[in-house]
Amino acid sequence: MTTTIDPRLARTLTAIGAALTLASPFLAWTWTAAYPGNLTLDGYPGGSQVVTLVTGALAALFTAAALGLPGVRRLAPAGAVRALRSASLAALTTTWVTVGAIALTLGGAVNVEPGGWLACVAVLLLAGGAHALPDDTVEPPPPGARLPWPAEVALITAVFLAALAVLTYGITTDSAEEFLAFLPAAGFGARALSAAGITRRVSEINARHRVAVAVAALASALVFPFTQTGDRYTAIADNILVFAAVALGLNIVVGLVGLLDLGYVAFLGTGAYSAALVSGSTFSTFHIAPWPFWATALLGMAVSLLAGLVIGAPTLRLHGDYLAIVTLGFGEIFRITVNNLDGTSGPSLTNGPNGINAIPDIELFGFDFGKPHTVLGVSFGRFANYYLLLLAVIAVIVFVYARAGDSRVGRAWIALREDEKAATAMGIEGFRFKLLAFGLGACLAGLAGTVMAHLQTNAVPDNYKFADTAPPNSAFLLAAVVLGGMGTISGPLVGAALLYLIPAKFEFFNRYQMMLFGLALIVMMRFRPEGLVPDRKHQLEFHDKQVSGAQARQVAAEATA
């Protein structure tokens, strides 16, 4: 990058900006506690000041690496300057959004204390100096040295705990102002870690310790309910997990096989209605004793699997837009059908638009998920109980997805996705493998649907539209897969979390939801078509003109391994 500022001056500005950014959260930014987060205290950061402090610390770390301090440079193997620029933008956005929100919500800039103005100037100096530094990117970055096994496992655990802390902060923000300041900071912070090469190093370590990664991920997720004192935020986490579970199932169809399914939410509804009918609800048209949950789950999976095979068998010979139109039609047919099975327009089965309500809580091996329990001295309410169950469901779906993707069947799916004609010429029977993927994805959606019916205590047709203001629906599920990253495990989880949290935190979002999501997808397709957590092969395909031959060989070797 060509600079118009002397590099020594740029380094000085960056260092001063980083120091002031770290100091500014310890000063009051406003005089009244009316603004969320209580930013009135000197010496004690609160609310969005904590985000500025964390992003400032990250920027200070990369500043030290960019200035070549001994022992710090190794923390940015791919180069520190680009990472510093992203970190400075993280601090800049969260600080300016917070100070601007103080002025807007409290009635003018006079409500901003000197600490807030100092923070604005500090992050501006930091970002300006960082963008004036000469680029030091190393392509490709040098290979990382292997650490001892205990050290690498400890690093994996620390990474997952840090990710959980970030997600927990996003879930537990009390106001739209705090979440609006947090969101861009998290995005630019993740970009800084990627630009520094840290994300790639962590991925290399994860690839060597897959069992440790699975254990660390599960253990970190189990920590969340222990950090909550009520069910308010745990309920949000439950809905995110339901959304993520269904998105993972859809990722088999879309990400691994490349089939565009626009009616996938119907399989979620199939599982939910199957569970509701045998739940023992007083509104169920099946007047039978409630089934045990394990039998209900198997029924929901079996009915959804059958529905997937029945729909897939006559339609999967279609391709592209034609298949998308057929699956969209199936989703609407399902919703209209259950809406008409009310005993008037059709047989009495689903109670029509009223649905099946008062679905009782799950009782599994004597454990009632609707009653509070005490675990290790912590009281678990209803939503915390369902959180643990949904973690188990996610674990099952991730296991099935990972094993299927690494198997001979998974390789056949990927071959069909990349070039169906070439795969067929190599002896892969496309229709059979696509039908298998369609059935497996439907089966996993049915499993999530059985839990969702008990969690929401109802199954009504309006829950299973193609597009609605509240996820999950087919449009949101597909957006979660595309936004997060097709063909990966963590991608749909990230996409589902974002697409659920953003409408939940911003009330005004519901009025312009589809327009804003459409705009977001357009921006994603332009600047990051591979998704937020991309598959390395997809990343290479979408950015083939921006990578060197050495990078291409490296990615090909990783894919082969």
Q: How many CB atoms lie within 10 A of CB 465?
A: 17
Parts of the chain with a pLDDT under 50: 1-3, 545-561
Q: What is the pLDDT of residues 218-241, one digit of tens each?
A: 888 888 888 877 778 888 899 999
CB-based contact 97:119 (threshold 8 Å):
no
Segments making up each domain of the chain, as ranges? 7-197, 228-506
Q: How far apart are CA 325 and CA 332, in angstroms?
A: 11
* Cα dihedral 555, 246, 529, 331 in deg (nearest 10): 130
Q: What is the pLDDT of residues 104-144, one digit of tens each?
A: 989 889 999 999 999 999 999 999 999 999 888 877 777 77
7-197 adopts what CATH topology?
Answer: de novo design (two linked rop proteins) (1.20.1440)
Cα distances (Å, whole numbers) of residue 239 to 229, 386, 413, 452, 531? 18, 10, 30, 9, 22
pLDDT of amino acid 560: 40
Tokens coding 17:
């900006």
pLDDT of amino acid 389: 92
Same-fold call for 7-197 versus 228-506: no
51: left (phi over 0), alpha (psi -120 to 50) or beta: alpha
Cα distances (Å, whole numbers) of residue 31 to 49, 118, 325, 389? 14, 15, 57, 45
44: left (phi over 0), alpha (psi -120 to 50) or beta: beta
Q: What is the residue-averaged pLDDT of the chain?
A: 85
| Confidence (pTM) | 0.86
Cα distances (Å, whole numbers) of residue 303 to 346, 495, 557? 20, 28, 41
Beta strand extents in 351-505 (DSSP E only): 356-357, 363-364, 367-368, 373-375, 378-380, 458-459
**Torsions phi, psi for 378 (to 5 deg):** -110, 130
Q: How far apart are CA 553 and CA 279, in angstroms?
A: 55
**Residue 452 C-alpha from the chain's centroid:** 19
pLDDT of amino acid 474: 81
What is the CATH number that goes with domain 228-506?
Answer: 1.10.3470
Which of 74, 89, 211, 86 lies closest to 143 in space, CA to CA? 74
pLDDT of amino acid 149: 85
Which of 467, 464, 466, 407 lies closest to 437 in space, CA to CA? 407
